[in-house]
Structure 1
Amino acid sequence: MSIAKRLASQTAVYGLSSIVGRVLTFLLVRVYTGRFAAAEYGIVTGLYAYVSFLNVLFTYGMETTYFRFANRPGTDRQELYDRVMTLLVLTSVLLSGVVALLARPLMSLLSLPAGHEQYAVWIAIILGLDAVAAIPFARLRLENKARKFAGIRLASILLNIGLNLFFIVLCPDVLAGKYLTSLRPLVESVYNPTLGVGYVFLANLAASAFTLLLLSRELLDFRFRLNLEPLRPLLQYAYPIMLMGVAGMVNEMLDRVILPRWLPENFYPGQSNLAAVGIYGACYKISVLMSLVIQAFKYAAEPFFFAQSNEKNSPYTFALVLKWFTLCCTMLFVGVSVNVDIVAQIFLRRPEYLQGLAVVPVLLLAYLFLGVYWNLSVWFKLTDKTYYGTYIGFAGAVVTVVLNFLLIPLLGYMGSALATLACYFLMAALCWWLGERHFPVPYPIARLLVWLALAVGVVALSWWLPVAAGWPRYAFHALLTLGFVGLIALVEGRRLRAL
């Protein structure tokens, strides 16, 4: 099997758990926006923003470190697995305890009333369980057990979705007498109506515990090894990646953390700041469609890049991968942005959420540049110069912080979206510029920029050209999308067939 086919096949298998699984989770947006007001959904959006920050601290770059050291000649992979797992188990217990103890201050940052501290405690446990599961999942990827990886991920996601539907849809409807009234005694014994959005976190907690159960074979293969001296090179490699991850979370999540406090009161008439966070978070979910593709690709490509690093033609392979990755993401950007009104009708159930749709194309483009950056970042990972990733990440974080504080009072959550786009574009540009000096790869940058500029023009045309609402508008948008995809197929089709 050719290199391209092998990478594509593994991406497809990982996509079963990443894209298909997370699309199923994405469908819960329809449930949340239908069952929760924007202010209630703002609680979920805000707390999961903190989860993203903390998840980086809980794993502190050990997944990539495990891949890097496992591929070094002469490495005892079992011993490496034991040492990395020992570290993560100890630190997960410690950090989960700290987060649980800080539950009240954490909730006050979201301006939530007292009585919701249990949400933070549940999140602390979720973070610890997910961190412990990280290296067994990495081991499955290293051993090319993509089907088992995908099966466990998908099973956990399905459990999470099932519990969400049970507690957020079925139980309230049964108590309201809408259907299955014979189940009312059972529902009354397990369901607490006052918990509300808390069931979102409880369902996540149950799914994380179930994941560890499914990984029992990998966990039972672990032997506790605490010897600090061999751990030093691991930590030296990992800490720049952790700092890079923290900077990345600043870039991705800072807006939802500071929006409740930095957005001027009554900026959106008749809505609280927490409601604005909920609207922005719901519309952000649509743009996350791009990140689903990136995540599925990343699961397959990270071990692939390390395995290809010693091949003579690896620079050409990396250039080819970036080209087709970018073209696929560009088509997705156009497809979703041009037809966002249809997507919104499916997922955003309440009219109050629709007013934030303008941020979707901006955020989709931002995620596209994030995917480009991730591809370009292979150079500093393969040359063991991960500190460059830290520098780039922190440069992006500075842009994110400055632009959020400048633009939120002027543009609201659109300012946050523009800050995200500026950040990821800068990171991609810096990574390419530095990579050209340290690890030259013949990336077709000029050609890709032409396609991106054309894609932005198509999206702008669809938003600004006045077309009658209803089917004429839908037909026009469909023609624009098919025309753009057809143009890529026409121009690049010969090269694709050659590949």
Structure 2
Amino acid sequence: MSIAKRLASQTAIYGVSSIVGRVLNTLLVPVYTARFAAAEYGIVTGLYAYVAFLNVVFTYGMETTYFRFANRPDTDRRELYSRVMTLLLLSSALLTTVLALLARPLMSLLSLPPGHERYALWIALILGLDAVAAIPFARLRLENKARKFAAIRLANILLNVGLNLFFIVFCPDVLAGKYLAGLRPLVEGLYDPTIGVGYVFISNLAASAFTLLLLGRELLDFRPQLTLAPLRPLLQYAYPIMLMGLAGMVNETLDRILLPRWLPEGFYPGKSNLAAVGIYGACYKISILMSLVIQAFKYAAEPFFFGQSNDKNSPRTFALVLKWFTLCCAMLFVGVSVNVELVARVFLQRPEYLEGLAVVPVLLLANLFLGVYWNLSVWFKLTDKTYYGTYIGFAGAVLTVALNFLLIPLLGYMGSALATLACYFLMAALCWWLGERHFPVPYPVARLLAWLALAVGVVALSWWLPVAEGWPRYGLQALLTLGFVGLVGVVEGRRLRTI
């Protein structure tokens, strides 16, 4: 099987768990926006923004480190696995305990009243369980056990979705007498209405615990090792990746933390700042459709890139991969942005959430550049110069903070969206510029920028079409989408068939 076919095959299998599974998870957004007011959903959005930061701390770059050291010819993979697992088990137990003890201060950061500390405890447990599962999942990827990886990931997501539907839809409806009144005594024993949005975290916690059970064979297949000397090179490689990850989380989630603090009171008439976070968070979920594709690709491409590191033709391969990745993401960007009104009918069930719809194309384009950056970052991972990733990430983080500070008071959550776009574009540009000097790859930069400029033009045209609402507008939007996809197919089709 050729390199391109092998990568595409692995991406497709990982996509079962990443795209299909996370789409199911994303489809919970209509449930949340129907059952929770924007201010309530703002709690979920805000807390999961902190989870994104803490998840980086809990794993501190050990996944990528494990891949890098496992692909060295003199490495005993079994011993490496045992060493990394021991390290993560101990650190996860310590960090979970510390986070649980800091429950009250964490809740005060979101200005939540006393009594919500249990949310922080549940989040601490989720983070600890997910960190312990990270290396067994990485081992499955390294050993090309994509089907098992996908099956376990999908089981996690299906359980999470099922429990969300049970606690947020089924139980309240039964108590309200909408159906199955005979089950009311049973539901009353299982369901506490005062927990409310807390059931989002309970469902996640149960799914994380179930995942560890499914990974039991991998979890038990290690021998505890705490020799300090062999750990030093692992940590030296990992800590820049952790710092890079933290900087990345600043760029990805800090807007939802800063928004309620820097948004002037009354900026959106009749809405609290927490409600604005909820609206922005719900619209952000639509843009995550781009992130789903990136995540599925990343699961397959990370071990693939390391595996190709010794191939003399690897630069050409990397250039080819980036080109088609960018073209596919550009088509997704056009498809969702042009037809965002139809997409919003599915995701945003209350009219108050539709007010933030204009941020979706901006965030989709931002996530596209994040995917481009992730592809370009292969050079500093393969050359063991991961500190460059830290520099790039921190440059993006500084820009994110500065632009949020300047734009939130002026533009509200649109300012946050524009800051995210500027940050990811800067990171991709810096990574390409530095990579040209340290690990030259023949990327077709001009051609890809031309396609992206055309995609932005098509989206802008669709938003300013002088056509009334309704099916005529929807039809014209569909034609624009098909026209762009068709043009890509005609112009680049011959190269695609060659691959």
Q: TM-score, normalised by structure 1?
A: 1.00
Report the Cα offset of residue 53 of structure 1: 0.2
1:243 aligned partner = 243
Supply the distance in 1 between the matched residues of 2:391 and 2:466 (Cα, whole angstroms).
44
**C-alpha RMSD of the superposition:** 0.4
1:241, distance to aligned residue in structure 2 (A): 0.2
* SS of residue in 2 equivalent to 1:289: helix
Find the counterpart in structure 2 of residue 45 from structure 1: 45
User: 1:297-336: CA deviations, max 9, x gaps?
Assistant: 0000000000001011100000000000000000000000
Give the whole-Å Cα distance in 2 for the aligned partners of 1:366 and 1:320: 22
User: By how many angstroms is 1:275 displaced?
Assistant: 0.2
Aligned to 1:326: 326
Q: Match of 1:386?
A: 386
Quote the offset at 1:417 in angstroms.
Answer: 0.2
Q: Deviations over 1:235-254 (max 9, x none)?
A: 00000000000000000010
> Matched residues in 2 for 1:228 and 1:409: separation?
49
CA displacement 1:191-228 (0-9 Å, x = unmatched): 00111000000000000000000000001102111111
Residue 193 of structure 1: aligned partner: 193
- What residue is the counterpart of 1:270 in the other structure? 270
SS of aligned partner of 2:144: coil
Aligned to 2:8: 8
**Structure 2 match to 1:357:** 357
1:466 CA drift (Å): 1.6
Matches within 5 A, 1:374-453: 374-453=374-453
Is 2:36 the counterpart of 1:36?
yes
Note the 1:94-493 alignment, pairs <5 A: 94-493=94-493
Partners of 1:130 and 1:306 in 2: how far apart? 24
SS in 2 for 1:162: helix
Partner amino acid, structure 2, of 1:36: F
- In 1, the alpha carbon distance for the partners of 2:346 and 2:248 equals 30
Number of residues paired by the alignment? 499
Question: What SS class does the counterpart of residue 468 from structure 1 fall into?
Answer: coil
Which letter maps to 2:225? R
**Alignment partners' CA distance in 2, 1:461 and 1:142:** 44
* Aligned amino acid, residue 490 of structure 2: L
* 1:34 to partner: Cα distance: 0.3
Deviations 1:394-447 (CA, angstroms, capped at 9, x unpaired) = 000000000001100000000000000000000000000000000000000000
**Which letter does structure 1 place at the counterpart of 2:236?**
Q
Q: 1:218 and 1:269 mapped to 2: Cα distance? A: 53
Letter in 1 for 2:393: G
Q: What's the offset of the Cα at 1:473?
A: 0.5
Q: Structure 2: how far apart are the matches of 1:369 and 1:294? A: 10
Structure 1 distance, partners of 2:115, 2:272, is: 20
Q: CA offset at residue 465 of structure 1?
A: 1.9
- Which structure 2 residues correspond to residues 54-133 of structure 1 after superposition, within 5 A? 54-133=54-133
Distance 1:240 1:100 in 2: 27
Question: 1:260 Cα deviation (Å)?
Answer: 1.0
Residues 54-63 or 215-224, more deviating: 215-224
CA shift for structure 1 position 261:
1.1
- CA distance in 2 between counterparts of 1:309 and 1:227 reads 29
Deviations 1:18-40 (A, max 9, x none): 00000000000000000000000
Q: Which AA in structure 2 matches 1:378?
A: V
After superposition, the C-alpha distances for 1:76-98 in whole angstroms (9 at most, x for unaligned) are 00100000001100000000111
- Structure 1 residue identity aligned to 2:331: M
Find the aligned partners of 2:451 and 2:158 in 1 and give their Cα distance.
37
Distance (whole Å) between structure 2 residues aligned to residue 61 and residue 330 of structure 1? 29
Partner residue in 2 for 1:495: 495
Partner amino acid, structure 1, of 2:360: V
Equivalent-residue separation in structure 2 for 1:425 and 1:88 (angstroms): 33
> Shift of the alpha carbon at 1:269?
0.1
Q: Secondary structure at the match of 2:349?
A: coil
Segments of 5+ residues of structure 2 without an aligned counterpart are none
Residue 149 of structure 1: how far off its partner (Å) = 0.1
The alignment partner of 1:392 has SS state of helix
Q: Matches of 1:473 and 1:222 in 2, distance apart?
A: 59
Cα distance in 2 between the residues matched to 1:466 and 1:409: 31
* Partner AA of 1:61 in structure 2: G
AA in 2 matched with 1:412:
G
State the 1:480 CA deviation: 0.2
Report the alpha carbon displacement of residue 468 of structure 1 after superposing the two structures with TM: 1.1
Q: Deviations over 1:126-185 (max 9, x none)?
A: 000000000000000000000000000000100000000000000000000000111101
Shift of 1:464: 1.1
> What is the identity percentage for the equivalent residue pairs of Structure 1 and Structure 2?
86
Supply the AA of the counterpart residue of 2:346. I
Distance 2:348 2:59 in 1: 33
The residue type paired with residue 295 of structure 1 is Q
One-letter amino acid matched to 2:105: P
Q: In 2, Cα distance between the equivalents of 1:441 and 1:467?
A: 45
Alpha-carbon distance in structure 1 between the residues aligned to 2:112 and 2:410? 25
Q: Give me the whole-angstrom Cα distance separating, in 1, the residues matched to 2:357 and 2:306.
A: 39
Amino acid at match of 1:247: A
Rounded to whole Å, the distance in 1 between the matches of 2:20 and 2:109 is 34
Q: CA deviation at 1:356?
A: 0.2
